[in-house]
A and B are shown apart, each in its own frame.
Chain A
């Protein structure tokens, strides 16, 4: 039974896009994944607007004083089982804002992160590769 649900989960990932004060470049690249050229819907992935419908949370940007506690709140509202993917160098480790005055701490110290896609911004191919690796890791257990 659990195997069936895991297979269904990996075949139909609803993605919620949590913009954690990014510069919008990563957001544009995320939207590129849904365009005809890459078309993530052929793997069953769709962008949803409500965190309650989400199976994966894509976090872009640096967690700062204002967004850090909100991103934690949003993560807690997501129905589990669910995964978090950090998109872009900012979300992965702070990038050039690492020493900035309002940088709190890296994203993976606030919420558990399952996959990291680096790049500034990462290409859609890189994101698809990250998701495919995550699905393989989930299937392996």
Chain B
């Protein structure tokens, strides 16, 4: 019963969906204010989602309807499980299982893989292009992301999120060391690519390939796709909160999450989109170098 409650309501699906919707509203509102516009009303993500529930679902001809329609649900379920594991680790650090950090890292790639499968199943050249760009983007950001996760692991000598959190609650946040700062910088850049928002929104570049993998989706599957994106906007930065700077209370964690969200929105609004080859080069040289330096510093003990 508790497991079901954890997965469906708190800190699983409903909690992540609501905060994700709020985060998407904040994103749109702050973007609008930066453009000197007014921006959408508070309930806009809810309206968007409810509207998509009532729309017709179109499946492209000559495609696998099963792969096309089930891909968004895989992403959604993966994000839900990540939310449960990360927030369980933040709220009661003793309750998590050994190796949940690795499970989270694997689960966080599933939404991207669902995006790829859905894109290739769309039977549309632009969707295939978006899916192949998404694949290249995964290859580019995954290595620096793993390297920057390695820093808290070295500091706390554990691969349990609960241990990492309780280590930081006792000894101070990882972010308070040189290695932690460098790992956090590369981690934020990787999160930017993981959420595929500007300057790394290459897979769904609206002006060139329209919406990338989501181009053929309509109705409920599109709603699930959007919901997954909103939940990712909440879950991935809160994973950074857990491994770099956890707080004792839920409100403290949410405040720190909001701080990371503001950083992400500011990066989004001040940078133009890069090409995929530029992104791969950037991640494999600069970001990897920063993350590697952070790992070396962490091994030295700084």
Contact = CB atoms under 8 A, between A and B. Distances in A.
Interface stretch (B47-55, B101-109, B112-120, B235-243): B47-55
B211 A49 contact: yes
A42 B210 CA distance: 23
B37 A36 contact: yes
Interface range on chain B (Cβ under 8 Å from partner): 20 to 34
A96 interface: no
B39 interface: yes
Given A12-B47, A12-B48, A5 B219 contact: no
Contact of A79 (B38, B207, B211, B219): B219
B210 A55 contact: no
A79 B130 CA distance: 22
Interface stretch (B28-36, B167-175, B190-198): B28-36
Contact of B51 (A2, A5, A42, A80): A5
B84 interface: no
Contact of B53 (A5, A39, A77): A5
Contact of A8 (B50, B218, B219): B50
A70 interface: no
Nearest to B38: A42
A39 B56 contact: no
Contacts of A79: 55-58, 218-219
A80 B219 CA distance: 9
Nearest to A42: B38
A32 interface: no
A8 B41 contact: no
A42 B217 contact: no
B51 to A, nearest CB: 4
6 contacts: A8-B46, A41-B40, A42-B38, A49-B210, A50-B215, A55-B51
